[in-house]
């Protein structure tokens, strides 16, 4: 039987069991699923069935499922839960995942849940909630195993056996001194093959990379990608070990940042979810549209300044959409290349200079090819060599400047510590419309005597 058909049958059966209160049968089939599949089924159910499922599952079982639900879907779930049950679910979750979810809720709801929770667990979550959003501190977990450099391998292995069930990962163990300063790292493999009476200090590697608690999450993601880490330690300004960031958290960061960049490139101020109402979607899109509206009015007023040229040579108007469209297209191409390079950290100072030189050269080559073709097409179409040369030369200059602008604007924003993706496609397109109008009509005015 086809997998999709089997899944559909299973989901219908689970829905029937949940609706009819068949607790044991539901639990048997539901808990046999992977937590991701559980979450996918759960989020698609109406509220009345979800309320039943809460009563069928323990807080620990619900927590395992909740960790696979998108953050955008979290708010209504915690709103519909009984507060005491919700608090127990959060207690069962990894601390960093719990913090991510609480950040999606209203402040009064968060305060209420933290008040109900166990004091120790609440204190750990409060500590992470205080860190600025999108920093290493906000995405780290405090559920890790730190070992002391002075301990023997045998003592450390016994300690690890006791602490491992609560830790998020034990592939790497971070070594601290008596004052909790990070001094090294040791792998589980190294501990297993070491002699039991050896000290951890003799087994560990002192070459340990760490990140500051205030470091931007995008920079942390680049470090984990570049060094192929499974986890990276987080320290304060005195090098005290505060937590770790694991690769699964970084995958979430990369997805989040990619979504934000895509939204900005599309001229949307915030991620536009398919589940948003028309009013909310319009609210997210309007700011950019209003800005672009005024920029569009500037373009229209510029064309008005060249009304006399249009009256003398009306055929000039035919090529305005072509030139503006080409300027917008080539600018967006350069923008995409520049934003990607800046977001991945591929460009240093010299890299940015090379990027600008390459884009200017690319624009020149494209401009010469397109300009030559356009000159010939306009000449044979309008039987006017001067008009063909004007349009051809204009497109060449426009493509060079538009391509360079597409690369320069995000680099300039990056220098101002503004997300380069803010230089969105619609923004660059409108700016290049203005540039193309100025170049085209400026050249037309200069050579008007040959066109009349």
Question: Which residue in the block uniquely carries the two structure tokens 């609210």?
Answer: 283
Instruction: Indicate the residue among 87, 110, 134 that finishes a domain.
Output: 134
Tokens of 73: 């879907």
How many degrees, rounded to 5, is the angle at CA 191 between CA 186 and CA 197?
A: 120
Q: Which pLDDT band holds residue 452 (cuts at 50, 70, 90)?
A: low
The verdict on residue 268 lying in a domain is: no
How high is the pLDDT of residue 357? 84
- 451: pLDDT strictly greater than 80: no
- Asked if residue 140 belongs to a domain, the reply is no
Position 292 in a domain: yes
pLDDT for 174: 92
Residue 273 pLDDT: 57
71-90: average pLDDT: 88
pLDDT: which is higher, 291 or 88: 88
pTM: 0.61
Separation of alpha carbons 332 and 60, rounded Å? 48
Q: Band of the pLDDT at 315, cuts 50, 70, 90?
A: confident
Question: The CATH number of the domain where 402 resides is what?
Answer: 1.10.357.20
- Over range 114-138, report the average pLDDT: 87
- pLDDT at residue 67 in the model: 86
Instruction: Tell how strand 182-187 and strand 231-235 pair up.
Output: unpaired
Answer yes or no: do 91 and 182 share one domain. Answer: no
Q: Are residues 325 and 207 in the same domain?
A: no
Domains: count for the chain: 3
CATH number at residue 19: 1.25.60.10
User: To which residue do tokens 């049950």 refer?
Assistant: 85
Collapsing DSSP to helix, strand or coil, 46 comes out as coil
The token pair that represents 414 in the structure block:
């990056």
Beta strands in 237-306 (DSSP E): 241-246
Longest dimension (CA), the chain: 97
CATH number at residue 244: 3.10.580.10
Closest C-alpha to 192, from 160, 169, 151: 160
Q: What pLDDT sits at residue 204? A: 93
The answer to whether residues 440 and 291 belong to one domain is yes
Q: Which long-range contacts (CB under 8 A, 24 or more apart) does 286-295 make?
A: 288/424, 288/426, 288/427, 291/427, 292/267, 292/426, 292/427, 292/430, 295/427, 295/430, 295/431, 295/434
Residue 54 has a pLDDT of 93
Residues 309 and 428 in one domain: yes
Q: At which of 190, 224, 258 does a domain end?
A: 258
pLDDT classification of 344: cutoffs 50, 70, 90: low
Question: Is residue 263 a part of any domain in this protein?
Answer: no
Q: Per-residue b/e over 47-86, b at no fewer than 16 CB within 10 Å?
A: eeebebbbebbebebbbbbbbbbeeeebeebbeebeeebb
Give tens-digit pLDDT for 421-430: 655 666 777 7
Task: Tell which phi-psi region holds residue 228, choosing left (phi > 0), alpha (psi between -120 and 50) or beta.
Answer: left
83 and 32 belong to one structural domain: yes
Residue 418 structural domain? 278-451
Same domain, 316 and 417: yes
Residue 240 lies in a domain: yes
On whether residue 154 sits in a domain, the answer given is: yes
Q: Is the domain of 241 the same as that of 361?
A: no
71 pLDDT above the threshold of 90: no
**Judgement on whether residues 295 and 444 belong to the same structural domain of the protein:** yes
The whole-number average pLDDT for the span 444-451 is: 78
236 and 374 inside one domain: no
Regarding whether 307 and 437 lie in a shared domain, the answer is yes
Model pLDDT, residue 203? 92
Asked which of 185-189, 275-279, 317-321, 410-414 is least confident by mean pLDDT, the reply is 275-279
* Last residue of one domain, picked from the residues 215, 230, 258: 258
Q: How far apart are CA 114 and CA 108, in angstroms?
A: 10
Question: In the block, which residue shows the tokens 């493509």?
Answer: 399
Q: How confident is the model at residue 195 (pLDDT cuts 50, 70, 90)?
A: very high
Residues 335 and 444 reside in one and the same domain:
yes
270 falls within a domain: no
Q: What is the pLDDT of residues 249-308, one digit of tens each?
A: 888 777 776 666 555 555 555 555 555 667 776 666 666 667 767 777 777 777 777 767
Asked if pLDDT for residue 226 goes beyond 90, the answer is no
Q: Is residue 19 part of a domain?
A: yes
Q: Are residues 194 and 294 in the same domain?
A: no
Nearby residues of 429 by Cβ (< 8 Å), 6 or more positions away:
327, 328, 331, 332
């Amino acid at each position: 039987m086809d997998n999709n058909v089997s899944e559909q049958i299973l989901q219908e059966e689970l829905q029937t069991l949940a609706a009819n209160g068949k607790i044991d049968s539901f639990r048997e089939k539901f808990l046999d699923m992977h937590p991701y599949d559980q979450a996918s089924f759960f989020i698609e159910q109406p509220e009345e069935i979800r309320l039943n499922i809460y009563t069928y599952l323990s807080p620990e079982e619900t927590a395992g499922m909740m960790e696979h639900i998108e953050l955008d879907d979290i708010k209504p779930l915690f709103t519909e839960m009984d507060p005491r049950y919700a608090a127990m679910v959060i207690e069962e979750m990894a601390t960093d995942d719990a913090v991510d979810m609480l950040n999606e809720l209203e402040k009064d709801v968060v305060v209420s849940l933290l008040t109900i929770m166990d004091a120790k667990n609440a204190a750990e979550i409060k500590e992470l909630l205080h860190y600025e959003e999108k920093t290493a501190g906000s995405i780290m977990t405090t559920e890790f195993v730190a070992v002391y450099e002075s301990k023997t391998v045998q003592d450390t292995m016994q300690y690890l056996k006791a602490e491992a069930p609560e830790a998020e990962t034990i592939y790497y163990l971070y070594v601290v001194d008596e004052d909790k300063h990070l001094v090294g790292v040791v792998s589980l493999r190294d501990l297993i093959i070491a002699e039991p009476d050896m000290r951890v200090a003799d087994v560990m590697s002192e070459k340990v990379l760490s990140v500051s608690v205030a470091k931007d999450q995008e920079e942390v993601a680049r470090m984990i990608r570049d060094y192929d880490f499974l986890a990276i330690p987080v320290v304060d300004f005195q090098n005290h070990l505060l937590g770790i960031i694991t690769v699964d958290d970084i995958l979430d960061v990369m997805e989040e940042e990619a979504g934000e960049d895509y939204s900005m490139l599309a001229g949307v101020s915030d991620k536009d979810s398919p589940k948003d109402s028309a009013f909310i979607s319009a609210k997210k899109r309007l700011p950019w549209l209003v800005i672009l509206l005024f920029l569009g009015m500037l373009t229209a007023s510029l064309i008005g300044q060249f009304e006399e040229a249009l009256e003398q040579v009306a055929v000039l108007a035919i090529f305005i959409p072509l030139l503006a469209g080409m300027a917008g297209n080539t600018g967006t191409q350069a923008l995409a290349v520049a934003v990607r390079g800046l977001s991945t950290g591929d460009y240093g100072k010299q890299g940015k200079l090379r990027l600008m030189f390459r884009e200017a050269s690319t624009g020149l080559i494209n401009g010469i090819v397109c300009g030559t073709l356009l000159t010939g097409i306009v000449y044979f179409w309008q039987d006017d060599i001067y008009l063909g040369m004007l349009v051809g030369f204009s497109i060449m200059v426009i493509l060079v400047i538009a391509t360079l602008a597409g690369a320069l604007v995000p680099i300039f924003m990056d220098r101002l510590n503004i997300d380069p993706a803010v230089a969105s496609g619609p923004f660059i397109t409108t700016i290049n419309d203005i540039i193309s109008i100025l170049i085209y009509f400026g050249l037309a005015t200069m050579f008007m005597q040959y066109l009349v």
